[in-house]
A and B are shown apart, each in its own frame.
Chain A
């Protein structure tokens, strides 16, 4: 999504109307993936049977849409366009780490409840990505999950899974 980045985009050198070489190849990855999606969904819908316009089977509607996806992806493959695309930077790796943390949170959440994984997630995130001091990291990582727990579990009535920490203390 567009938003910000624009700053980089604006200052980036103007790309030629039809990118060539590696630039073109890079721009073809997404359309190629979309083409695969379109064709795959098309085959899947075909297997669901199409039926007729008056008596459509489950596959007819998705099949029509698959054609749309495949068609537009094909055009994008042929004409990748020249609109500015964000650069991948070393910082992009930190996003991979962020995703990893969230995945770990979800796994732990199912296993030991909310409080512990939330405190760990906050701790790592605030210290590593937020660059907070140890003191404010500790305060926020301990107080934060407790406040959220009270808001969601007690005030909003969200039944959070059985919590290991709470069981240990009660």
Chain B
């Protein structure tokens, strides 16, 4: 089969010694930052973007992808041991994972998470291997109008699924689009909003914007935190789960893999939503739901499997359609653009080494993570001893040199500082940077596709209805808006009983995690990015989230 031979070619790329080294670096760094307080996947990838600029494109994406799924493993460790989720997707793991630690089953919880993550990740990559080529065929047939529709869908999902206010997210998406227009007009080259500044003619550099909003902002925020490093006292033993544990978790892992895979494909998916959905699903299916929150192993296995599955399948929309599903993938998108590669349906044919190499590297990376995590958990925990101040001070210096290195200009250093301040103010006022960055990345492509559609249609907006693919997507958006409007009204009406129910069921973390109790149980509200927990974390149990941004 064609896919198999392509995958074989991918493995020959991934087994190149340099690439093997980069997968390894990626997964180790990913696990480390999952454990370390102060840095999450988004911030780390933002910090590393300038370095990837000098690397071979395939190697750089292999490494960044490794950081992303590696951080999903690492975040679990502190969730289970200290009830400190390293990144948002692991919040759910604190519910039962930490309870298991209290019962002296920390090793089992970590072991089952690693195995679940491996299974979920691998199932999703197999899905990615076979689904991506088919979708790419489909996507190649799409015209510019359908592209506009797809990007609008992506932005719409990111803004409406966000935890914060929809209008705040919408406004941020607008600001992101606006920022992306700074520079030269794509058609006639005249200057837009450059205020006579020559460096602005080429627009804001994506790296500087991303490093500012995620990296610098997050590092500055750490000055406001007063958390002290925690020391793990738990002895970890029996990491390899018993046969009974495996039997108990098998179903949860199977369901988590499938659920996570499909949630990951959706724009705005990946990470948090999938782990919440899996937790809710396992709890609903359980014969004795009251065990959940008290150390039920399915409550660890399911969500951990699902979040790894979704973070792998989230690569599908990026690699196939050129639409990043969440903020971390927007970073990887930016990294590809910097290398002069535009992700999209042509990627698979024009850069088949990169496409298949990255996919093959994910099989290898997941295997490495399984091997690394089971025996080496203890080593990673030692990293908690690194003091926050040292980490922050050095990270800031690296940001500054890194951003300088892109264009060798001090101007970009001011841009990164400016966006750092902006990001910090945004976090203070409850605006999420996710939609902004995503819109900033999509802006130029959206404008180009829109203008192309207008050229094709002779200036008539009707093209968005007459083009079948675009019509279907816009109809779907309309349905979702209506559902949101009416659903919201229904919920307000029912909010009284639902609230009481939620309170009565106060022990239920899945309920608790829904930001609005009126949403009712089993309806966790998702966040917009794999690692953006926002107020999802306000569980009544007050899960202490470390300062780490794992969570931009």
Give A residues with C-beta under 8 Å from B.
Answer: 1-7, 9-11, 27, 29-31, 34, 37-38, 41, 44-45, 48, 52-56, 58-59, 61-62, 65-66, 68-69, 72-73, 75-76, 79, 81, 83-86, 88-89, 91-92, 94-95, 98-99, 102-103, 105-106, 109-110, 114, 118, 121-122, 125-126, 129-132, 140, 144-145, 148, 152, 156-160
From the candidates B175, B536, B544, name the one contacting A37 in the complex (CB within 8 A).
B175
Instruction: Please provide the chain B residues from 514 to 539 with a CB less than 8 Å away from any CB of chain A in the complex.
Output: 515, 527, 532-539
A selection of 18 A-B contacts at a CB cut-off of 8 Å is A3-B427, A3-B547, A3-B552, A9-B535, A61-B447, A61-B451, A62-B192, A76-B167, A86-B428, A95-B224, A106-B413, A106-B417, A109-B413, A121-B396, A125-B393, A129-B393, A132-B390, A160-B404
A84 to B537 CA separation, bound complex (whole angstroms): 12
Pair B544/A99 contact, Cβ less than 8 Å: no
A156 to B52 CA separation, bound complex (whole angstroms): 11
Pair B223/A30 contact, Cβ less than 8 Å: no
From the candidates A91, A103, A105, A132, name the one contacting B387 in the complex (CB within 8 A).
A132
Instruction: Please provide the chain B residues from 272 to 318 with a CB less than 8 Å away from any CB of chain A in the complex.
Output: none
Note all chain B residues with C-beta closer than 8 A to A144: 394, 397
Pair B458/A54 contact, Cβ less than 8 Å: yes
With A34-B175, A86-B427, A140-B390 given, name 7 new contacts (CB 8 A).
Answer: A4-B546, A52-B459, A58-B185, A65-B178, A110-B410, A122-B397, A125-B396
Note all chain B residues with C-beta closer than 8 A to A121: 393, 396-397
From the candidates A84, A125, A145, name the one contacting B430 in the complex (CB within 8 A).
A84
From the candidates B423, B429, B542, name the one contacting A10 in the complex (CB within 8 A).
B542
| Chain B at the A interface: SS class | helix
A69 to B169 CA separation, bound complex (whole angstroms): 10
Note all chain A residues with C-beta closer than 8 A to B394: 122, 144, 148
Q: How large is the interface on B (under 10, 10 to 19, 20 to 34, 35 or more residues)?
A: 35 or more
| Chain A at the B interface: SS class | helix
Note all chain B residues with C-beta closer than 8 A to A81: 165, 167-168, 430
Closest to B165 in A: A81
Pair A89/B224 contact, Cβ less than 8 Å: yes
Q: Mark B159-173, 1 if CB is under 8 A from A, else 0.
A: 000011101101101
From the candidates B388, B393, B405, name the one contacting A152 in the complex (CB within 8 A).
B405
Closest CB of chain B to A133's CB: distance in Å?
Answer: 11
Note all chain B residues with C-beta closer than 8 A to A158: 401, 404-405, 408
A91 to B450 CA separation, bound complex (whole angstroms): 46
Closest to A110 in B: B410
Closest to B173 in A: A68
Pair A41/B393 contact, Cβ less than 8 Å: no
Closest to B50 in A: A158
